[in-house]
Amino acid sequence: MQPTLDLMSPETRANPYPLYAELRRTGIRQVEPGGMWAVSRYEDVAAVLKDPRRFSSEGLARGFLPPWIQRNPTAQSLVVKDPPEHARLRGRVARAFGPAALAVLEPEIRAIAHELTQRLLHADGEVDFVEAFALRLPVRVLGLLFGLEADEYPKLKGWADDLVSIPAGQHPPEEQARIRQSLVDMERCFEDLIEARRSAPEHDLVSELIRPGEDGSVLTHEELISFLFSLLPAGVETTVYLLANTMYVLSDRPDDFARVRADMRLVPRLIEEVLRFEPPGHSSLRITTEETELAGVHLPRGAVVVVLLASALRDERQFPGADRIDLARGGSSHMAFGHGIHFCLGAMLARLEARLGLEALLPRLQGFTRSPVPIDWSRSLIARGPLALPLKFSPA
């Protein structure tokens, strides 16, 4: 009998890659929490994500609605829809994240990145990079996208954390109460925002989503709320952890830091390699719609499948030398933002924020060191990054 492997154990959350390697060796098998079926090899992960007919996202709604939560609009959002409903909703909102929309945002993102860099370099001693830079950049960008008042910005990360933690398993009563209150506060905030934009549209994402599409279609109020709920963790967590993971990776690799700093054209390649090597998104969940077979393993109907993106991106059969950073690797990591119909709508925005953030920061550094204190990593099954990253900077 195979030993039980727990994806949420403290040891695994601190360093999941040995467990992922074991799963790739042994193939598809059940893991904790909940006896989910873990899919870890690149080709198997790709097969699941490209097949929404057999591996459904809609069944995931129950993961966002455990018995202790009465209402969570994420459970009706784009991320848990299958075709044809998924195509309708995605087509309706995709324009808000296209190249034209991002080109308008780019100068504002660049200005925020330079402002945060200035503050970072004027701080005395050790600084928590997550709090001082990696968090503030995407939160301010998302606040601008939403059209929120600045005093609402600090709430966004806490709300995002609570949302992504819901499917991870058991929560003590005090956490349940806090998460329920976060959901209430989020919905109240978005309700007020939608009402304000219906009365007086502005140049922001909510106003764009309220307007009829090119075919005259409109999103219902519930669809608007659900989309804003799903966008929050995607817009905050992904970029926070991408920036923090990049600096974490570079702190152990001064030669790579020096190489990128000497040639800033390497920044996009660095981002792609960090997305592969230490991705913000570690897994996605699916439900089997019928009895099926994958890689020679029988899966019953209704099985919960955990698709380990981060394991697939360390698969030696797909990426030679997968356990090392290689700036010459080239190409896009692709599945770091998902694959198939649920490829992340915000991938272009996350890449843009990371690029502009690093382009503002790295040339201003002579070097930096990381505190020897062990890193406390996020406890989400879905996303992974340092909760804090103490760094000491040497300005150029």
pLDDT digits (tens, 9 = 90+) for 120-134: 998 888 999 999 999
Position 133 scores a pLDDT of: 96
Domain that holds residue 145: 10-377+387-395
Tell which wins on pLDDT, 344 or 291.
291
In a domain, 49, yes or no: yes
Dump pLDDT digits (tens) for 100-127.
777 888 999 999 999 999 999 988 889 9
| DSSP assignments along 115-134, one per residue | HHHHHHHTS-S-EEHIIIII
Dump pLDDT digits (tens) for 70-99.
899 888 877 777 777 767 777 777 666 777
Amino acid identity of residue 314, one-letter, is: R
Contact (Cβ atoms closer than 8 angstroms) between residue 231 and residue 346: yes
In a domain, 382, yes or no: no
Is 218 a residue whose pLDDT tops 70?
Answer: yes
In a domain, 3, yes or no: no
Distance CA 62, CA 59 (A): 6
Tell which wins on pLDDT, 14 or 82.
14
In a domain, 334, yes or no: yes
Q: Please provide residue 304's backbone torsions phi and psi, each rounded to the nearest 5 degrees.
A: -85, 120
Number of domains making up the chain: 1
Q: How far is CA 187 from the centre of its chain?
A: 21
Dump pLDDT digits (tens) for 348-357.
889 999 999 9
Distance CA 339, CA 343 (A): 5
Position 345 scores a pLDDT of: 73
Dump pLDDT digits (tens) for 305-324.
999 999 999 999 999 999 99
Position 3 scores a pLDDT of: 63
Is 148 a residue whose pLDDT tops 90?
Answer: no
In a domain, 331, yes or no: yes
Question: 39 has which bridge partners?
Answer: 307
Band (pLDDT 50/70/90 cuts) for residue 163 is confident
Going by their DSSP bridges, the two strands 304-308 and 36-39 should be labelled as: parallel
The 3-state DSSP class for residue 119 equals helix
Is 257 a residue whose pLDDT tops 90?
Answer: yes
Of how many residues is the chain composed?
396
Inter-helix orientation angle 173-199/221-251, to 10°: 120
In this structure, what CATH number is given to the domain that contains residue 349?
A: 1.10.630.10
Dump pLDDT digits (tens) for 373-391.
999 998 888 889 999 999 9
* Rounded average pLDDT over 227-253: 90
pTM for this entry: 0.90
In a domain, 4, yes or no: no
